[in-house]
Every structure is written in C-alpha cells, then in structure tokens.
A = this chain, B = another copy of it.
Amino acid sequence: MGIDDFRLARFLPYRLAVLSERISRRLSAIYGAEAGLSVAEWRVMVHLARCREVSVREIHNCVNLDKSRVSRAVTRLETAGLVQKTGSPTDQRLLAISLSPEGWHLLDRIVPPTVDYEARLLAALSDADCAALDTIIEKLHRVLDADPEARPRSVLDLPQPPDAGDASAPNDATIDRTP
C-alpha cells in the first residue's frame, strides 16, 4: 500500500475539520446576520451570559480562544456597546467583563435561532447516535489528553459531572484553580 492509497476523504481529522467548518459557517450566517458577530465574539458573549463577570484570562481558558483573540473580541464588542469592561477593584490587572443591556438584548435575539439550528442537526440523530457521539468525542479527547504534544483541553470542555450539589450559581469557571 503506497502513499498514494491515502485517502483524504477517509481521514478522520480531515473529515472532522470539514464537517465542523461547514457547520460553523452555516451557524455564523445566523448570528453573523443579526449583528456582525464573529465566532470569537459569539463565544465570548455566550460565555458572559453564563458567567456574568469574568476576566480575559477566564474567557480564554474556557472557550478555546487565544488570549489575544479574546482581547480583541472584547474590544470590538465594547466598541459595539455589547459589553462593558471594568477594572477589578481587588486586582488592578484583571478586567471585569460583562454584557451590557444591549448585549443581553442581542443574545435574546441570537441564541434561540442558533439553538434551533443545533436542534435541527440533532434531530437527524437518534438517541443512540447522540450517546455514541458523546462517547466518541470524549474518547478522542482523552487520546489527546494523554499526549503531551497535544494542546491541553480547556477545563470547561471536560465532561461535566452530573451536577451533584448545585450551588445555584453557574460557576463552571470557578473550578479553575489549577496553578
């Protein structure tokens, strides 16, 4: 079997990339049409909706975006009036970023159709498929987790324990005490 038997179309990393990008592009047509949100901005805003007031680093740790990408996304969002940047009183380095009222309104309009589209995708899958997909994604991640050469996984992307004692606060991020 020579090199030329290699089939891109059967190559798992390629297949995932293609599917993922196709979905991403379709989605960004949804939340990009309303406001001109990029993927980065979308992730930041959605994360803020859950975590209310977080720093750049926390966003960076949670939503798989480069530090500078988050920084720039936040700047753009602030200029657009969708987000507020306040300096933390306790730590002068930190930034307290939160959604503005306009930001919330925008999310109100943008999240539902986005979720609908996800539902449309999921509707094509059986319950067994969905379960299998969870398993598969997790298994693949674990291979990468075990590989020192691979980029580590964000905390929030770890499988969530089935939510034992809910503390009424959506603090997925507070787990973040690694250093």
Contact = CB atoms under 8 A, between A and B. Distances in A.
Interface of A: 3-27, 29, 39, 43, 46-47, 49-50, 62-64, 104, 107-108, 111, 115, 118, 120-125, 128-129, 132-133, 135-137, 139-144, 147, 149-151, 153-154, 156-157, 160, 170, 172
Nearest to A142: B124
A50 B1 CA distance: 12
Contact of A151 (B22, B151, B172): B22
Nearest to A52: B4
Given A124-B142, A136-B133, A160 B9 contact: yes
20 contacts: A4-B170, A6-B49, A7-B50, A8-B47, A9-B172, A12-B118, A13-B20, A13-B121, A16-B137, A17-B20, A17-B24, A19-B20, A19-B137, A20-B21, A22-B151, A25-B151, A124-B140, A125-B139, A129-B132, A136-B136
A21 to B, nearest CB: 7
B136 A125 contact: yes
Contacts of A121: 12-13, 140, 143
Residue from A13, A124, A128, A129 with most neighbouring chain B CB atoms (10 Å): A13
B136 A104 contact: no
A16 B107 CA distance: 22
A121 to B, nearest CB: 5
